[in-house]
Amino acid sequence: MRLYILDNGRLEGDFNWIVAMSTVGTLENRTPPIKWVSIPVYCVLIDSSEGKILYDTGCHPDAMNGYWPPNLTSIFPYYHNDNQLLTKQLALTGTTPEEVKTVILSHLHLDHAGNTRLLSNAQVYVHKKDYNYAVHLMASSPNPQDHGAYVKADLDFPADRLHLVDGDLQLFDGVELISLPGHTPGLLGLMVHLKQEGTLIFPSDALYCTENYGPPTKMSGIVYDSVSFRASIEKIRALQQKYDAKVMFSHDLAFFNTLKLVPQYYR
Domains, the chain, ranges and CATH?
2-25+35-266 (3.60.15.10)
Mean pLDDT of successive 10-residue segments in the chain (267 residues)? 99 98 94 96 97 98 98 98 98 98 99 97 98 97 95 93 97 98 98 98 98 96 98 98 98 98 98
pLDDT at 157: 86
Which pLDDT score is estimated for 86?
99
The Cα 236–Cα 208 span in angstroms is 12
> How far, in Å, CA of 204 to CA of 207, rounded?
6
**Which pTM value belongs to this model?**
0.96
d(CA 192, CA 102): 15
197 — alpha (psi -120 to 50), left (phi > 0) or beta? alpha
CA 118 to chain centre: 17
Question: Which residues pair with residue 123 across a beta bridge?
Answer: 102
How, if at all, do strands 169-172 and 175-179 pair? antiparallel
CA distance 196 to 28: 53
